[in-house]
Amino acid sequence: MTEGAYTSNISVAEHHALRAVGFAPVGLVMGNYVFDLWNMTLSDNCGYTQPDVGDRLFRPASVPAPRVRATPEMRVAAHDARERAVNHLRQECLELGGDGVVAVELTTRPFPFGGTEFLAVGTAVRATGPVRPPEPFLSDLSGQDFATLIEAGWVFRHGGPGRPPLPVMRLR
């Protein structure tokens, strides 16, 4: 771990709260992935459902407009895009020598030509003591909330590669 300047998405108060419970921020980490509908093979309905009113040029206000629903393929692709963004975030944490990421923000935003970008941003932290987690953890808690849980005897743990994250575990 290097001591020096770094960028993060946490406040000074969060930085000090993390330091007080044995974690040092090591840098801002980001993972992203673009979910592109144009390169997908979709079901016949392409996610659209039509009400049973026929093709009317003018629809009375009482008749609902066609609705868009996610097809199974779209749901799987969106889940995969989210997982890839989160895995990129975790990989950047490891490259900085971090043990986990706090203040994780996961957002989606439009991407040109019909895509959707999944973006995960957080601050990588490293345990300053001799005990370090075997896998990097991810937390959407602020630095202060994370520190409060650590002070109360809770720790974060990861389920391992390909497994879902496990809930926080009480030490005391």
> How far apart, in whole angstroms, are the C-alpha atoms of residue 66 and residue 68?
7
Judge whether 154 lies within some domain.
Answer: yes
Token pair of 60, please? 């009375």
Q: Which of 8-17, 29-38, 72-81, 120-129 has the highest mean pLDDT?
A: 120-129
Judge whether 153 lies within some domain.
Answer: yes
Enclosing domain of residue 137: 25-41+64-170
* pLDDT at site 114: 76
pLDDT tens by residue, 16-31: 899 999 999 999 999 9
pLDDT tens by residue, 128-151: 988 888 888 888 889 999 899 888
- Using CA atoms, how far residue 122 sits from 7, 29, 68, 92, 154, in Å, is 10, 6, 32, 10, 20
Check pLDDT > 80 for residue 47: no
Please report which confidence band the pLDDT of residue 42 belongs to, taking 50, 70 and 90 as the band edges: very low
Report the CATH number that the domain containing residue 76 is assigned in CATH: 3.30.110.70
Higher pLDDT, 82 or 70: 82
pLDDT tens by residue, 95-128: 999 999 999 999 999 888 778 899 999 999 999 9
Lowest mean pLDDT among 8-22, 84-98, 150-164: 150-164
Judge whether 20 lies within some domain.
Answer: no
Judge whether 7 lies within some domain.
Answer: no
Q: Percentage of the chain with pLDDT > 70?
A: 67
Give me the number of domains the chain comprises. 1
Q: Do residues 34 and 116 make contact, with C-beta atoms less than 8 angstroms apart?
A: yes
* pLDDT at site 97: 93
